[in-house]
Structure 1
Amino acid sequence: MKVMAYDDLLFAKGELGAWLGRRLRDALAEVAGTNADEILARPHEQISDEIIERYLVPDLCLDQAGITGSVTDQRVDVSHDVMRAVSDRSSPTYIAGSRIMFRVPFTGIPEIFSLKASTFSFNPPRATVLDGYVSVFRDIPADVLESDRDRVVAALRDEVAKIDTYLDYSRRDIAIANTRLQVQVRQAAEGRRAKILADRDTEAILGVPLHRDKEAAKTYRVQPVVRRRVAPVRQVRPQEGFAPEPAITDEDFSNIVTDIVSTTRMFERLAVTYADLREERLRDPILTALHAIYGGATGETFSKRGKTDIYLPWGDDGPVFLAECKWWTGPKAFAEHDLPQLLDRYIVWRDTHTAMVLFIRNKNATAIIAEAEAIIRAHPRYLRDMNSIQGSPAFVLHKDGDRDREITLELITAVIQR
């Protein structure tokens, strides 16, 4: 059998930088290929972290505390040893000897052992990389081992140390590449989300009718139901001379509220995922569900004096529904900022249906919901209560300065507690 004095050359069969570059490109391609609805339905930070975890290069380390050694019989070819009298050097000449081996366990990606880092020498180490071990060996004639055993063992230890030094070179390159990967993947995910939202805003100004996709509604509903396409009706004003304006039916309004409630129930069930997210991050899954069902929902859409969180348009006539999402930060903020922001900054004279989606992380959620309801009833434009939808209270208020123009306000609450 053939006997080898050394094994494979390490860190010499490819460029580590090129390999790391390919991983980065693959990770960015995965971001670019992520489904648009998923980007909006889930926090983009969560998506980017999952992709980063798949492409981040783990530490490659030798476990020198777990090193093991062995000495086995081996026939050694000495045909190339010029210090020996060999009659024919054109063919192997075997004598008795031993194979001295160190086996060092490692953790990390084995492929890195074959790749050259940006720092290197022209005399890289040799070893076998297999099954979680780096094996360094020398085939030594018996007479050499007998006379110089310490030097032979020391040379093997030096080879192991040399491998670790080369791994240090690789680890430096990998650390830089990992940092670059994390930054660029997160930027790419955030950029993709912004681009998709911009596309949604573009859809909002196309002037096409609001269409409700029944199959998409089933996807986003816990209890799927058959729905109809939302059709605007003409709102009738009690006084003579009223010019009819587009509005949605109570049934359609109930459907929209139900779709939002279905999504917020997911927040409550998956509180660990959603409890620490900002309002706009919680808004995105709601917006995605509505967009999938109705085909025109947009976020951060300008209305009156600001950009409302959720906007369902009807052609060129403006929204048939809009909503605002807020974390509960106390009765003063709700009464003096959150509710006025919706009623005064976003709702115009022609709007008829709206909702306040209130996220609550406090333990006394029942008391907070009652307090929020009381604040709405105490509002100077409050007229009366309506029947609740999916357990969410509804109220009728009038437009500022015009008691004949009514708007229905739904208070949707999601209690998101860890």
Structure 2
Amino acid sequence: MIIETPLFSDESISSFEKKKIQSLSDEINNEEENYILNVGQEQYINHLYEKHKFESLTILDEEVTTQIKEESIFGASFPSRLYNVEPNKLYKKDVAYFYVPFLGEKKYIRLQPTTFSTSSIRGTINENELIFSIIIFNQSREEIIEEFEDSLEQLKETVRRLNNDIENYNSKLQSIIKEKFIGRKEKILKRRELEASFKIPIKKKDNIPTTFSIPAPKIKKKINIKPSVGLQPFEPEPTLDESTYFDILNVINDMGKAFERKPSVYSNKGEEDLRDHFLMLLEPNYEGSATGETFNKTGKTDILLRHDGNNAFVGECKFWKGEKSFLRTIDQLLGYLTWRDSKTAVIMFIKNKDFTQTLNVAKSAIKNHKNYVRFNGEQDETWLNYTFNLPGDPNKEIQLALMMYHTVDVD
């Protein structure tokens, strides 16, 4: 006879979570410094999330099968009020086995949820199924089925509670990874800045590897490949800080809303005219220069903010001409960018009467772009923030704000 053991009782899920978080923290801290400094942040965070997240359990109760087999049972398992048997002697008895398939990793069946019943569930874990057994004494068929169904309901309720814990863990996992990754990166940068401030030459390490091999991916639901970068020495790039970036976007957004509030003033104007209104506000507010139609890398862009000879912000202004044209606008913007350009905006002027429908089309279409990485939230219903990667360089991530304004023509 199969020996049953208590389920969901080996280790608390909170203890298991702490070990997993420590494991991913160790993984980040053991990475090569130049890897941490060069790898695309979003890609690396997503890689660790896929690697360290918990998979929920699913009980396939509609696929339960059963089997009755004759087994040798110790007398101690017999009800003493009905049978006169010796506890240590084996006796033949029929046993009903119920096989309950499940999806997910079997190690989670050993974990105790945050909230749990005091009565334990006993069973046997196979690779993809749980086995429950009931020794048949003098029970009726209905009584045997009822006993199993009680165990099944208890199992499903315990799994539901465990899945709630899993969902809570997964919901906070990305922010935990991001905090640990940024903490390690900032620590490295501070030390390197300190080293650079010394007048005495810093001793270099010997035999620094120049390539990085991708480890064999662990397969669960999909292949999760770690982002690969060369371990060349990291060179810090000038970049627009987050607060200034959002200040610039706020200036643009205020002017875009003005276009909507005063259609008699701004209607029937072309892209260049509307762009010039943005430039008139940006130019006096920031050191450096805000210029229109400035050549940058492979083509012209509409708004380019420069500081000390470096591009700090790149924006593209276009009228909405449909989904395909919209995606080509993003291609055009990405084509202008160099390594140093990390803060960008696509500003769309919408003449369509059904503005809401156009906005929904844009929200859906942007996620299908080949360089799309993730959605970072909305500032308001027409200002949405995204992360993209640079064409040909998945480790170089840029911030892209999509800003859409309803600019109807007035006769």
2: distance between equivalents of 1:368 and 1:48?
A: 24
Corresponding residue number in structure 2 for 1:311: none
Q: Is the 8 A contact 1:27 1:52 kept in 2?
A: no
User: Residues 106 and 301 (structure 1 numbering): CA distance in 2 closer, same or farther, change over 3 Å?
Assistant: closer
Q: Is the 8 A contact 2:45 2:177 kept in 1?
A: yes
- Worse-matched range after superposition: 66-75 or 161-170: 66-75
2:168 is the counterpart of 1:176: yes
2:197 is the counterpart of 1:205: yes
2: distance between equivalents of 1:71 and 1:26?
A: 44
Determine which of 194, 204, 209 is the counterpart of 2:186.
194
With normalisation by structure 2, the TM-score equals 0.52
**CA displacement 1:325-362 (0-9 Å, x = unmatched):** x887844535xx33x640799xxxxxxxxxxxxxx942
2:309 is the counterpart of 1:342: yes
- Mapping 1:237-386, distance limit 5 Å: 289=232, 291=234, 297-300=235-238, 330-334=300-304, 337-338=305-306, 341-342=308-309, 361-362=331-332
Q: Is the 8 A contact 2:66 2:97 kept in 1?
A: yes
Determine which of 39, 42, 45 is the counterpart of 1:48.
45
- Mapping 1:119-134, distance limit 5 Å: 119-134=115-130
Determine which of 118, 132, 135 is the counterpart of 1:136.
132
The percentage of aligned residue pairs carrying the same residue is 16
2: distance between equivalents of 1:344 and 1:9?
A: 63
2:98 is the counterpart of 1:102: yes
2: distance between equivalents of 1:99 and 1:417?
A: 62
Determine which of 54, 58, 71 is the counterpart of 1:57.
54
Question: Match of 1:188, SS?
Answer: helix
Corresponding residue number in structure 2 for 1:71: 68
1: distance between equivalents of 2:170 and 2:302?
A: 46
2:113 is the counterpart of 1:117: yes
Q: Which amino acid aligns with 2:149?
A: R
Corresponding residue number in structure 2 for 1:237: none
Corresponding residue number in structure 1 for 2:144: 152
With normalisation by structure 1, the TM-score equals 0.52
Question: Match of 1:99, SS?
Answer: strand
1: distance between equivalents of 2:311 and 2:152?
A: 73
Alignment gaps of 5+ in structure 1: 221-272, 275-284, 292-296, 307-325, 346-359, 370-413
Q: Which amino acid aligns with 1:65?
A: E
Q: Which amino acid aligns with 2:54?
A: V
Question: Match of 1:94, SS?
Answer: strand
Q: Is the 8 A contact 2:71 2:95 kept in 1?
A: yes
Corresponding residue number in structure 2 for 1:82: 80
Q: Is the 8 A contact 1:31 1:48 kept in 2?
A: no
Q: Which amino acid aligns with 1:103?
A: Y
User: Residues 156 and 31 (structure 1 numbering): CA distance in 2 closer, same or farther, change over 3 Å?
Assistant: same
Alignment gaps of 5+ in structure 2: 212-225, 245-295, 313-329, 339-389, 395-411
Number of matched residues?
256
Corresponding residue number in structure 2 for 1:256: none
RMSD between aligned alpha carbons? 4.1
Q: Which amino acid aligns with 2:82?
A: R
**CA displacement 1:284-339 (0-9 Å, x = unmatched):** x89x7454xxxxx444499xxx9xxxxxxxxxxxxxxxxxxx887844535xx33x
Q: Is the 8 A contact 2:301 2:333 kept in 1?
A: no
Deviation at 1:58, TM superposition (A): 0.6
Deviation at 1:137, TM superposition (A): 1.2
2: distance between equivalents of 1:150 and 1:364?
A: 68
Q: Which amino acid aligns with 1:120?
A: F
User: Residues 206 and 300 (structure 1 numbering): CA distance in 2 closer, same or farther, change over 3 Å?
Assistant: farther
User: Residues 152 and 212 (structure 1 numbering): CA distance in 2 closer, same or farther, change over 3 Å?
Assistant: closer
Determine which of 11, 35, 44 is the counterpart of 1:14.
11
Q: Is the 8 A contact 1:20 1:174 kept in 2?
A: no
Rg larger for: 1
